[in-house]
Structures are given as structure tokens and as C-alpha cells.
Chains A and B, each alone.
Chain A
Amino acid sequence: MQISLRIPLLVVAFCLVGSVSAGADDTVRSLNFENDILPILTRFGCNTSGCHGKAEGQNGFKLSVFGFDPPGDYLALTQEGRGRRVVPTLPDQSLLLSKASGVVPHGGGVRIDRQSEFYQTLRDWIERGLPFGSPDDPQVVSIAVEPRERQLAVQSKQQLTVAATYSDGRVVDVTRLTKFQSNNEGLAAVDDTGLVTAGEVPGEVAVMASYMGQVDVFRALVPRSEPIANYPDLPEFNFLDGPVYRKLRTLNILPSGPASDADFLRRVSLDVIGTLPTAEASRQFLADDRTDKRRLLVDSLLARPEYADFWALKWADVLRVDRQALGHRRAYEYYQFLRTSVATNKPYDRLCREIVAARGPLSEQPGGSFYKVVTNPGTMASTLSQVFLGVRIECAQCHHHPFDRWSQTDYLGMQAHFTQMAFKTVLGGEVLISNPGAAVTHPRTGQEVFAHPLGTENPTGNPAGDRRQLLAYWMTADDNPWFARNFVNRMWAHFMGRGLVEPIDDMRLTNPPSNPELLDALAKSFVESEYDVKQLVRTICASRVYQTSSTPNDTNRKDDQNYSRALLKRPSAEVLFDAVCQVTGVEEKFAGTPAGYRAVQLWDSQVPHYFLKLFGRPSRVTSCECERTIEPSVAQVLHVLNSPEIQDKLSHDGGRVAQLERDVSDDGVVVDELFLTFFSRYPSLEERTASAAYLKKRPDNRRGAVEDLAWSLLNTVEFVFNH
């Protein structure tokens, strides 16, 4: 199939490209720099930020990154470099051609083959006197990938073609000048020519195509190769299950069985409140025979103070509670504002508005402290877009976003919402006010850009009033395409270990959700609940999909994209450390905090602590959740295995091990108690027998033996992960 597809395509591509460069009469007249020459420079990477596109250029030759400034690039080629870059009288002597084709040594290597049509196009353009083209020449208005959707067998191939539509209605095949990128190379890779190759893992993948600032996407579904005969009807607990099941069915994947009560208890406790259940709580829950005990458990967790501690910490990361920038008192007030918002279940749209549109005294509007940490209007715009919309626009500060539709004008339009803002110091503190503000001008065109939200047109003047307020209402409007979707995606990723969109704060046309139906359903329900976060937690936790076991089956072993089994999640550094303290029964005293403070309550991410640092606590220098790293390292493993700090907690005279050994004489009961404490479950018969035998064999050092058992449990994957 691959072969039969490719050959005709190449023929078509050649004919069409030929017609652009030197084919039909109507193109001979008008080579256009922007339409015909820049795409070649972009396609071969000449203007990337690592080569001539970087701010200072490369070896004296500077192009605008990704060709966002055609007139500037035209000047660089035709006027600079002492006229040696392009020589119309001797086109082949032009450095543009001799360097790119490797005739003259080129730091970037051989880029364009002398025999290729690209070389020929460049040569024609030089020979014909370097036409820039006229402003009336047609421009690319859209591109379309063909096919747009397809089911691919594992390890099969699919050639993509890309057609560009110009403003005069002309359609041209631009496949060979298009850049392609897969959003999941494990599922399918794409090469420079647009040939997609599916991998061995089943799932859904998107391949982005970009040409001249226009983007389109090809989506492929790669099912597992063996169909499942008599696919069973699966139980649906709520509306989230259907979309997942339908997807799994097309992928020939069966979900894992239901999670046990013990696994559910431990999982939901860590996910909702970042805290392990105690042995006593585990015993009670396991013995409870009410049919709705899981629902009741979630409700009780949502009412606990640990819920607010845990989620306030997450918000404090992305909204940058930074003691160094804010000072101790204001940072604490800012944190308390976030924590109270969580504790009172403030509607999420209101929380957003209280930050984006904060005004007045900071003591009354602590959400405004954000603007004391992020102080530049452009960064405010890009940070808040990333946090609340999941849209990354910072690329567009300097150039057109390479994988999205955002231009510098879009970026500046967002920035212009923040230029009125100022702080005034009055008796009793600082007040956030708005003043007329400086104009925002486009660095290239010099034209003023007025405040306008993403995806809207640049207006002819700034809207009246406080522009941040307008932005806040636009962001939180029920029909905003990103606001609710971004939040439910973040929450889904938190509970399921993987977002429907990954990375979770990079929503764009070219990075579509792996299950759009599910994302839409979640977002719709969240909007209908009036942005009730606790309700969203209840909904997710009530689904059968959330309550799936982590044990893989033969059909879903390779799938980690489609929620066919519970993924193992590494808890954050704070949660993991609190768990260590809880299971060992030895509290930690953190510098500068009262006794009894747990790590998730540390509102200042700079409180020195080796374990927290080692396990990836963020420094809060960005608003990316990715700053909080959950990547494992040997140093982490060694620390839990060997560190005196952990050993001290195990052997502490007032700790769990000492107390159990002293109070409980039956070895089997000691083993039960430890398993309940660490894993929220009873040991299996085999585990119980082996562990009790270990204790029994060491009557002269029973305490040491209990310590050994606790050490072993602490170093299991079952303990270190949420499963």
C-alpha cells in the first residue's frame, strides 16, 4: 500500500512544485520571495533558532526565525554580505547556493542538493533579478492535509500530502516544503517527506503539518492488531465511562478489572488529599459493607483540611507563591488566599477573575500578588494564558508560533490587557490601580496593537475601561474554547496519570486530545456545575474508569494513553515525604515552621529540605507544572535505602516500629498492622507467612526485625507510587 501510494504522490508533487517554480507561463512571470523562496529556507532549517534564525545570526548572516519578517530577510539576502549572497549575473556563484549546496564549505553542512528543484527555484529567482513580488500577489490562506483521519495498522505506513490554498483560489501541493511533527513518536513517527510510520503501541496520534504559518493536522488511530472476539458489555458508572470504552473497543483493548477496595482507598486518598489512610481508617473502610462506601469516602475526603492544603500547594506552584519576590507576609497572604479559595470551594471561574482582574488594596485582593511576582506585561499575558487557558503564546513574543496560529499581533494583543496596571503605595500597603498605560507597538511594523483576546481581530482602538477585567470575563465565559477544557484536562491528568491533552498546558489545534468526546463531556459538565471543583472531583472518582485496577492484562499492557488500566503515579515530593513520616510515626520539624507542620503545608517552596529537593520540589520559577519533576534518580533510591534520616525514623523510640514491637506480641498481627499502615491492605497469605517467619527467627532482636520489615515495605514500588 505504501509503495502504490507514494509513487503517484511524488509524481503529483513534482508536477505541482514544478508549476510553482518554473512550470506554467503564469508562474514564470512572478516568483514571489515570500511565497516561493522563504518556504525553501524554512523547509531546510536555514532560519531556525539554532542557525541563521538566532538573534545574532550565524557567521554574519541573519534571517528572521521561521521567516516571520520577509522584508528583513529579503534585505539580508540581497543587500548585506557585500552582494555576494546573491549574484544575478552569476547565479551559481551566489553564496546562498554555493553554501547551501556545499560547493563552498558551510558550517551547517550540505542542505540543498544541486540537482533538486529547490536549488533550481532559488537559482531562477536569483537569475530573474531577485523579485520580491508585489503586495497584490496571492498569499497562502490555508493548508489542508490529506488524508485527515485514518486507521493505521501497527507498523504500517501512510504518506501525507499537503495542499496550500492561495488568496486567489489557487491550490498548490506543498508537501515537500511542509514541516511535519508527531505528537507521540511512540505511536507514530513522521519523516521529512510526510511519510507516517505507526509503531507497535496502540492508540491515537496526531501529526502536525505546518507551512507558511498555516497548520493542519492528520489524526491516526492505531488499533491493536488482534481483534477481540465477543467484546463484552462493560459496566458504566457514569457518563465518563462510555467515551473511554468506545475508544478502547476500536483499539481492540480490554480494560483491566475493578480496583480492590484497598487500592481504591489508598489511590483516592493520595489523589484527593495527598495523604495516606491510617491503618485504622483502612481497617474500617475494608470492613464497611455499605454499597455506596466509595462515594461516601470521597465526600469525607473533600471535607478534610488536608484537601485544602494539598490543592493550595498545587496552585501555589503554578501561580508562583514566591517568598523572595513577595516578602514573607505578602507571600503568606497570597498563599492563604489560594488555600481559602480551595477550602471554600470557590467557583473556579471566580478564582480566575480574582487573579486576572485583581484591583484595589493588595491586603484585600491578595490575588493581585501574582503581579508582584510576574512583573512584565508580556509575561503576565503568556503566564496567565498558560495557567488558565492551557495556551502557550510565549513563542509569539518574538516570532509566529511555529506550531500554532498565533502571531506576534496575537501576543501583543494579549499583552495590551496588562499595560494599564500599576501599583501605588499608600498608607497601609500597596494598591493595584490602572492608569492610561503605554501603547503596545509591533516591533516590526511599528503599528500600534490594541487589546484583543486570542483568536479575535486587532481592533482600531483599545476598549474602554479596565482591560484586565474585560480579559477576565472573556476567559471565564462559558463559551471560551479553552478555559473549562484546560482545567478539566489538568484535573483528569492529576487523577488518571495522563492528560487527554499532553503536555497538559499545551492546547492547540495541532495537539488534539486523545479522546475529544471525553474532554468535551467533562468540560460541559464542569461548566454546567458552575465551575464546581469538588463536584468535578466527585464525578471523576465515581467513574468506573477511575476505579480500574492497575494490574495490566494481555490486551492493555502497552497502552498508557487510553485509560485501560490505572497508571502508577509518583506522588509529589511533599506527599511522599509526609507518607514516610506517617508510616514511620515520626513527624518532621521543618525550619521556620511550628511543630506538626506537614510538608504539603509548606507554602514556601524554599524551605530547605534535602528529601524534598531530591524528589523534585519545584523552585517556582515558571508556571509550568512540568517544573515539578517526578523523574526518578539513583540518588533518590539510595536515599530511601540508606540514609540516616530514614533509618532514624525507622528506629525512633517513639516511632511506629518501636510502638508496634512493644505493644503487639503476635508476629502476624504486627505484619498485618504494617501492611495496613504502608499499603492500606492486608498482606497476602504468602507475604504474611514469610514476614512473620522473618520476625519469629529473630527473637533476640525483634525490634530490629520489625524495622527490617518496615524498611522493606518503604522501598517497594507499591509504597513509592500511587497505584
Chain B
Amino acid sequence: MATANHFCDRVTRRDALRVGSASLFGAGWGLGQLLSRQSIAAETSPPSDVSVIFLFLKGGLSTIDTWDMKPNAPSEFRGPFAPIATNIPGIEVCEHLPMLAGQMDKVSLIRNFGHRNSDHGPADHYMLTGYHPIPGFNPNLSPNNQRPAHGSIISRKLGPRGSVPPYVCLPRMHASAGPAYLGASVAPFVVEADPNSPSFAVPDLLPPLVVDPGRFENRKELLGVVDRFQKSGEIAANRGANAVNTFQRKAFDLMTSSATKAAFDISAESGEMRDRYGRNSLGQACLMARRLVEAGVRCVSIDHTNWDTHDNNFSVLKNDLLPLLDRGMSTLFADLSERDMLKKTLVVVTGEFGRTPRINQNSGRDHWGPSFTVAMGGGGIQGGRVVGKSDPRAEKPDGPAYGPEELSSTMFRLLGVDPNDEFYTPEGRPVKIAASNRVISELL
């Protein structure tokens, strides 16, 4: 305890870089995970090898209309949708999620979920990091992280698996998906491109078209000739330079690795498979996420937007949004299961909050943090379960509730990361990986 302190995380990073220089593949994407004593602790309890796909429905999915319907509530609450039976007796979901109804044996619903914030920026940060923002939070910054996002913590603690990056964001980086004080080496690899676009390609992963593979090899050879610090010892003696040098080799591996190329090459999927996920951004992002996890990525964070249904909630859900979610999410579960990957892949589907149970004057629903449902499956948790319940109007959890702290802690436990381990803020303050060590035990 007494010696585990680092200010500004500096000692840690420097040590990390030094360790990194010694082991190329260990160093890989994020050097940091190698050094901290916490990671040593993690190494002594081997990680579980579970990956996570976090499907974030930005704006806030209306869970009273989907996962936790209240057909007996007064009409100003219940909305026009009807519940339907699923393949798990006793669990009902919205009639506009018929494909998901057939996959509910793989999905569990946490219906006693809620938190105290109903503003987009802070609630997003809360859900994506497990920490409520503290004063000084500026949601307009990007990244705006006061605490590291789940994926950055996973990168730091578990490091890369093979030549692919451990943490990938698509089709853009959410403003709260950053590494905060864990530093750039565990920032997400951002695929800033829509996998549904015909011209989809991962930026910077391959040389520009004008540079064909032969020419690139020539360039590399030339680079070897002019890199004098390689010979004179500066690279070996300077940690930062050593890291750049290591990353460069890593980048060459990445560019030439068929595994990586394949992982990002969504066109390698059959047209049938692509249709099955849905030819839209959400569906193709889910397919991409499955490919990435297959190739070794530990955390894929999908940022899907437009769920902020203040107006015409029901027509927008019915006509636009739920069909995408139904197809994309159900295919993801079915596909993971068919490939025998579901046990090793945790899927979390949630918005930053739910929506007001009382319908507003624009037939919409507004922000509602106090009570909503999180859907999870795979990664070793039991499917087909309902955890807790909300009150008869879904306004608040009925009985003890879970929140973002427990969601984080559960995710980390499943991934084999001890949520009690600590990182240090720039002020030297220890902060635990998860603010709670309580897990959602009903899922396990």
C-alpha cells in the first residue's frame, strides 16, 4: 500500500515505457498495463478472456416501450405498443422486437436499474465510465472523461491480444470514451467510418491508394537507411523514442497482418450475413464488432445515436429505430451463439438513461435516469433472466436497485479485472476501477 502511489501517473508511465522496450509484443498497443503493481496483481489471477461489445443507444432508449412494458399502467404511461411473449416463458417484450423475442434465452434484463442524472452529457459519462461526473465536468469537450472509459481500463489492465488493438470505437468516438488520466496509450482505436457505407475503410490503417504495396515496401526499406538513431543508441536509451519505434513496428505488423486486415474488412462477409444484420449503420456496426472480437479485440464500443425521442416517440421507435435494433441485436446474439463465441463475449445494450414513463404533449418521452432497463447477455452470464423490477409505472425501481457502478463492476469481474484495483489521478488521488465492488449477482 505504502509504495503504490504515483503522481500524474508519471512514474508508472515511464516504468511502463521501459518495460515496453524490453518486450515488443507485450508492449504492443498500450504499454502501461505492464507496469503498474495493480497489473501484477491482475496477472496473478489470470484474466477470463472475455471480450465485451458495448452497444450504446445515445439519446436514451425508451425501456418502458421495449424491455419493461407496463400494459396495466394508465394510458398516459403505457403507450400504444403491446407486449409479446418470448422464447422464455414469463418474459415479454415489445411487439416491435419480434426477432429479439426469439433470442431472449441469451439476453437478461436488469429492470431495477437507475441512476440520479437525467442530462445527456453527465449521464453518458456515468454509464460509460461507471463514475458520476464531479464539478468541473464539461460535456462539450471531446473527450470529456474525468474517469477512464471501460475500454481504456480494459486496455491498461489486460493489454492487446495479438496484433489488433484492445479497444475499438465505431463508427465514431463517443465524447466519454476516452482514457482520461490513463493516457494516450490506452485511448481507443477509433474507426471513424460507417461500416454500412460502400466505401467503408479504417482510416490510416493502410497506405493511401497511390502507394501500392510494392512502393510501401520500398519506403520501409528507405526508412531503415535514414533512421540514424537506431544505430547510435538513442532509441534504446530513450523511453519515448523507444515506444514510437515499437509502435512503428507494431503498426507495420498491423498493416501487414492478415488477421487485422480481415477483421476490419467487412466486405469479406457474405452478402447474406450482411443482410441478416441489417444494411444500416447499427446492424453493420454490430457485425463489425463481432468480426473485431473474433480477431482479438477486447472491447468494442458502438456509438449509435438518435434515440432522444422527445417528439413522436412511438412512430419513431416503431418505424425507424426498433426495426434496426431488433435485427442488429438479435442477429448479434444468434451469430455469436452459432459461432460458439457467446460464452466469451459479453454484450451490453443501454442508453445513458431511460425515458419518462409519462408521455409528454408531443407524444414523446423525455429524459429519465431514475428507472430504466439494461439488457445484457453472453460473457458467462445467464440469459433469459429478469433482474429486479420497476414500480407499476416504471418510474422508479421497486426495491433495491443497481446503477452504473454495479454495471461496471459486473463487467470488470466477468472480464477478470479486479474492480477494487486503483489508478491514480493527476492529483495523486487513488480511484478504484469501479466505484462499487457489488456485482449484479442475479446474472451469474
Contacts and interface: CB of A to CB of B under 8 A. Distances in A.
Interface of A: 45, 48-50, 107, 179-182, 184-186, 189-192, 324, 392, 394-395, 403, 502-503, 506, 550-552, 557-558, 560, 565, 567-570, 606, 616, 619, 621-622, 624, 626-627, 629-639, 641-644, 647, 651, 683-684, 686-687, 690-691, 694, 704, 708-709, 711-713, 715-718, 720-721, 723
B244 A713 contact: no
B210 A651 contact: yes
A634 B234 contact: no
A-B complex: 4 closest residue pairs judged by Cβ atoms? A568-B238, A712-B223, A179-B2, A638-B204
A624 B243 CA distance: 24
Interface residues of B, number: 72
Contact of A567 (B18, B215, B238): B238
Nearest to A376: B135
Residue among A184, A635, A691 having the largest count of chain B Cβ atoms under 10 Å: A635
A509 to B, nearest CB: 15
B29 interface: yes
B262 interface: no
B312 interface: no
B8 interface: yes
Residue among A185, A192, A403 having the largest count of chain B Cβ atoms under 10 Å: A185
B240 A570 contact: yes
Contact of A634 (B7, B228, B236, B250): B250
Nearest to A713: B226
A452 B253 CA distance: 59
A50 B432 CA distance: 7
Contacts of B248: 637, 641, 715
Given A712-B222, A716-B227, A716-B229, A185 B208 contact: no
A191 B2 CA distance: 7
A27 B222 CA distance: 77
B243 A182 contact: no
A324 B138 contact: yes
Interface stretch (B63-71, B100-108, B180-188): B180-188
Given A568-B234, A621-B138, A626-B10, A641 B427 contact: no
Interface in B396-444: 420, 422, 426-432, 437
B247 A637 contact: yes
Contact of A687 (B204, B226, B428, B432): B226
B271 interface: no
B215 A704 contact: yes
A241 B73 CA distance: 81
B22 interface: no
Nearest to A605: B141
Interface string B241-252: 101110110110
B268 interface: no
Nearest to B182: A631
A22 to B, nearest CB: 25
Nearest to B239: A560
A642 B205 contact: yes
A502 B10 contact: yes
A395 B429 contact: yes
Residue among B15, B229, B237 having the largest count of chain A Cβ atoms under 10 Å: B237
A182 B238 contact: no
A123 B188 CA distance: 51
A185 B19 CA distance: 13
Nearest to A647: B208
Contacts of B211: 647
A626 B426 contact: yes
B3 to A, nearest CB: 5
Given A622-B426, A627-B426, A690 B11 contact: no
A30 B87 CA distance: 70
Residue among B136, B189, B226 having the largest count of chain A Cβ atoms under 10 Å: B226
B218 interface: yes
B90 interface: no
Nearest to A633: B184
A444 B187 CA distance: 41
Contact of B428 (A395, A641, A686, A704): A395
A184 B1 CA distance: 16
A644 B227 contact: no
B251 A687 contact: no
Nearest to B228: A718
B229 A717 contact: yes
B116 interface: no
A602 B226 CA distance: 33
A717 B227 contact: yes
A552 B232 CA distance: 8
Given A716-B226, A717-B227, A635 B3 contact: no
Given A185-B15, A641-B207, A708-B218, A624 B8 contact: yes
Given A324-B140, A642-B207, A550 B234 contact: yes
Given A629-B184, A641-B248, A503 B7 contact: yes
